[in-house]
A and B are shown apart, each in its own frame.
With several copies, the nearest count.
Chain A
Amino acid sequence: MRFRKVLVANRGEIALRVIRTCRELGIATATVYSDIDRLSPHVRAADEAYPIGGAAPRDSYLHIERIIAVAKRAGCDAIHPGYGFLSENADFADAVAAAGIAFVGPPGTVQRALGEKTSARRLAAAAGVPVAEGTMEPLRDEADARTVLERVGYPVLLKPAGGGGGKGMRIVRSAAELPAAWRAATGEATTAFGAPALLMERLIEHARHVEVQLLADAHGTVVWLGERDCSIQRRHQKLIEETPGPSVDDALRATLGAAAVTVASAAGYVNAGTVEFLVAPDGAFVFLEMNTRLQVEHPVTELVTGLDLVALQLRVAAGEPLPFGQPEVRRSGAAIELRITAEDPFAGFLPQAGRVDFVRDPSGPGIRLDSGLAVPLTIPTEYDPLLAKLIAWGPDRPAAIARARRAAREMIVAGLPTSLPFHSFVLAEPDFVAGRYDTDYVARHWDHPRTPEITEGAALATALAGLARLRAGPRPFVGDTTPWSRSAREDMLR
């Protein structure tokens, strides 16, 4: 069986990513868009595009009934949810299946077992995979949290039980911090996952976030494709990911890979998924959660394995077996991904809205760009601030870093602040270059003034260009008035 038409129920770079693979496979694509996304690149890229409602996600990209109605109307035989939005919504997976459409991801039952985070912890623990000390059921209330705290000891992490991805987490280092943390985490959990439930875990200090990419087919084959170190985070959300993990040796890699397969097998997992671990400085590790979807950072794994994870997702969703087993998985070289976000790194990574009015894409040897940008493009406040992913491959880690840094410094995005200056900084910062970093890295290293040191020559050039711009006065950008359009208009529009 092979799909004829896939509904890509997402937007931005990931919608384009999925559309590209479909096109290469000869599969038609349909997509959906909210009222403010009519001019978004995914609408132009797909073969078909359907409006599904207002700007707010609940009115459009989270609206299960409308999305399924579009899939039926357009005659799609599969729905790819991308990441975020409905990608980890078990009810959506169930509804898609009930409509007789293939869901590109694990079934609702599996998503439910892994999506509720205490349920996932119970599952991992039962399978013999270590989990952090803490609650194995959602906390009942703040008093319950206080009781658990006394047992587990400080510091702890208060986390939404209803969903993952680093959203809504709060560290509690003393009893006095609990009320504010409880309030904030409950609020964000409700906003992000529609459920206030929280769990508590002992915080592992100076840990690295290391995750294992998996693929599982419906015929019982589960393979792991290597790990990614995603410790460079702000607000518990990733900014830079790389593979291999600089602190992961072959023994730890094999152990994590086996643990990830154990979790997936215990859950009856199908399709692409990621098992996240925290690794302590001494190499001890605990299961964190399993993401039941494609990850933002999947391209680094694609670059070192040569695989197309979206193509394999589609194959698995169509019921086909994986075309290879664990022994056939090869990894070569190193890859690193930079998430170029609409955030101001000089202002606490505050998300930015605005209009992108000039972009220069980086390219050349070893560079892949998965971009959701176009010029011009209005970046709204309603969705994820991710604009593009710059991914570099090299034969080894230093080469991958050198390429990523070269490319990051080539890239220009004008119109609103982006994370690019942060990336340029990290890629030259000695601790990162030496592979010495953990999830505290951003807090410890990024206290960067808005005035990085530039050479005297660069400052002079900047000043002279500034004066030249001032003197030149306003004038149109690259013109659209070709002789043809002008004369044709004169001829026809009188």
Chain B
Amino acid sequence: MRYAVRAGDRELTIETTPEGRFLVGDRVVAADLAEAVPGRVWSVVVDGEAHEVAFLGDDRVWVDGDEVRIDIADERTVAAGRAGGRAASARQELRAPMPGLLKRVHVAEGSAVHEGDALVTLEAMKMENELRAAHAGTVARIAVAEGTTVEGGALLIVIRSE
């Protein structure tokens, strides 16, 4: 099976062989992988270089003291990505990261937003938190009204990128 892996700011194409070896790009890598904490921490030694990798969350990884994102796609997903992958990412959903009170909505449906624009103010943990747009786009939908108390994970705003 072939995988496209993004780890931090690097992209790797890795093919696993039935003998348990790895083809990274066109280089065969003899890696010694040991699971130190089941499902959580791996020790990886490649040519004497020792690394420790801990999984922190959905796509967050700790490696040798640095925290990076990881994204793994297999060859089918990679192939499909040209068509479907893009379309999916064109729709951006802003969800409440925690329960709180939606104090203010700074945008209207149909308005254009730039990356980093404040979308709403959520009061939670005794603080007002401004939630911002991750990408530019157009506000397609405002799902919750100002003054509403929302649960963590509740959909707040939908933005369409193209």
Contacts and interface: CB of A to CB of B under 8 A. Distances in A.
Do A and B interact? yes
Interface stretch (A135-143, A242-250, A375-383, A434-442): A375-383
A382 B49 contact: no
Given A48-B50, A474-B39, A477-B38, A461 B44 contact: yes
Contact of A460 (B29, B36, B123): B29
Classify chain B: how many residues form its interface, as a range: 35 or more
A413 B54 CA distance: 9
A462 B58 contact: no
Contact of B61 (A44, A187, A466): A466
A261 B125 CA distance: 35
Contact of A468 (B33, B66, B70): B33
Contacts of A408: 65
Interface string B20-42: 00101000010111111111111
B146 interface: no
A308 interface: no
The 5 closest A-B pairs by CB, nearest first: A480-B39, A409-B65, A461-B51, A484-B58, A465-B53
A451 interface: yes
A459 B67 CA distance: 11
A466 B65 CA distance: 16
A398 B132 CA distance: 37
Contacts of B127: 167, 188, 235, 351
Interface in B122-136: 123-132
A444 interface: no
Contacts of B54: 358, 360, 412, 414
Given A409-B65, A492-B72, A353 B129 contact: no
A457 interface: yes
Nearest to B134: A347
Given A38-B34, A49-B50, A454 B5 contact: no
A275 interface: no
Interface SS, A side: mixed
18 contacts: A38-B34, A73-B48, A167-B127, A351-B125, A353-B97, A376-B37, A381-B98, A420-B67, A450-B68, A451-B69, A454-B66, A459-B12, A461-B44, A466-B55, A466-B72, A476-B38, A480-B39, A484-B58
Contacts, number: 242
Given A382-B125, A458-B63, A413 B56 contact: yes
A184 interface: yes
A424 B57 contact: no
Contacts of A468: 33, 35, 42
A46 interface: yes
Contacts of B33: 464-465, 468
Contacts of B3: 463, 467
Contacts of B36: 39, 44, 374
Contact of A485 (B39, B126, B152): B39
Contacts of B40: 358, 414, 477, 480
A416 B10 contact: no
A483 interface: yes
Contact of B57 (A50, A192, A484): A484
A48 B100 CA distance: 33
Nearest to B73: A492
A414 B37 CA distance: 13
A187 B57 contact: no
Interface residues of A, number: 86
B44 A467 contact: no
Interface string A296-337: 000000000000000000000000000000000000000000
Given A38-B43, A351-B125, A466 B58 contact: no
B148 to A, nearest CB: 16
A151 interface: no
Interface of A: 30-31, 38-39, 43-50, 73-74, 167, 184, 187-188, 191-192, 235, 344, 347-348, 350-353, 358, 360, 374-376, 381-385, 408-410, 412-417, 420-421, 424, 449-454, 456-470, 472, 474-478, 480-485, 488, 491-492
A298 to B, nearest CB: 22
A475 B63 CA distance: 22
A23 to B, nearest CB: 9
A288 B59 CA distance: 42
A360 B62 CA distance: 12
Contact of B58 (A348, A350, A482): A482
A462 B7 contact: yes
Contacts of B68: 450-452, 454, 459, 462
Contacts of A467: 3, 5, 14, 16, 72
B98 A353 contact: yes
Contacts of A469: 39, 42, 55
Contact of A463 (B35, B45, B70): B70
A478 B40 CA distance: 11
A381 to B, nearest CB: 5
Contacts of B32: 38
B109 interface: no
Contacts of A382: 125
Contacts of A475: 38-39
B47 to A, nearest CB: 9
A358 B7 contact: no
A451 B5 contact: no
A485 B56 CA distance: 11
Contacts of B24: 460
B67 A452 contact: yes
A408 B62 CA distance: 12
Nearest to A357: B40
A412 B8 CA distance: 17
Contacts of A381: 98-100, 124-125, 152
